[in-house]
Amino acid sequence: MNVPEPKMRILVWDLPTRAFHWLFALSFIAAYLSSEDDWLTFHVTFGYTVLGLVAFRILWGFAGTRYARFGSFAYGPARALAYLRSIAERRPEQHVGHNPAGSWAIYLLLALGALTGALGFLTLNGPQQWEWVKDVHQVMGNVMLGVACAHIAGVIAGSLAHRENLARAMVDGYKQGPPGQGIRSSVWIVGAALLALAAGFWTAAWRGDLPAVTAPAVKRVAEHEH
């Protein structure tokens, strides 16, 4: 007879991972909602933020703490389907870090964030005849929204199945898990630096101190007005 492994409150998500998660969500939502010409400078600012955050997360996927590393959630399609089946059958697999289904959402969102951001850059900086790039950019944004919504639904389903608030865990960093399986540090310095960089970038962009960011948006609006 298998004896259930005891659980306790352990630190799983470091601050850089948590800061990335919420900055990425905020930046995507803000970029999606500010896509009209009147708000294009905001759209571009948040679009660049998404690109920067994707670059950071890739780096942190190799240099971060245990559960932030890609190696800790490198699951194939079969594992993801098996996990979803376990949720449906009300015998959910236990995972301290990202579960197999959630890992695929993360990889998709990172890929879509990079692709959508790159297409947005080409929309503003490429030749005017590349209008098709703008169309693809918009389609990818909608696809990304769909994946994000599916991810949120998965978090809700997982929280109910595991009887644990997974969204709150991404705020305070703590989950229920076996003793000794938590990480030792939140890596506050890196997380605080990421938050400070994002805030500094937004402030500089909105003050007009970054013409490389704001000028293409202003130019695009002027072209449409004429």
Q: How far apart are CA 171 and CA 45, in angstroms?
A: 25
Query: Per the domain annotation, does 185 fall within a domain?
Result: yes
Q: Looking at the domain assignment, is residue 4 inside a domain?
A: no
How many structural domains does the chain have?
1
Tokens of 65: 């703490």
Encode the chain (226 residues) as per-residue pLDDT tens digits. Answer: 344 567 889 999 999 999 999 999 999 999 999 988 778 889 999 999 999 999 999 999 999 999 999 999 999 999 999 999 999 998 989 999 999 999 999 999 999 999 999 999 998 887 776 789 999 999 999 999 999 999 999 999 999 999 999 999 999 999 999 999 999 999 999 999 999 999 999 999 988 888 877 666 656 655 655 5
Give the pLDDT confidence score for residue 182 in this predicted structure.
95
The reply to whether 78 falls in a domain is: yes
pLDDT computed for residue 222 by the predictor? 53
Domain range for residue 41? Answer: 16-220
Q: What is the CATH number of the domain that holds 185?
A: 1.20.950
- Looking at the domain assignment, is residue 1 inside a domain? no
Whole-prediction pTM value? 0.91
Is 171 inside any structural domain? yes
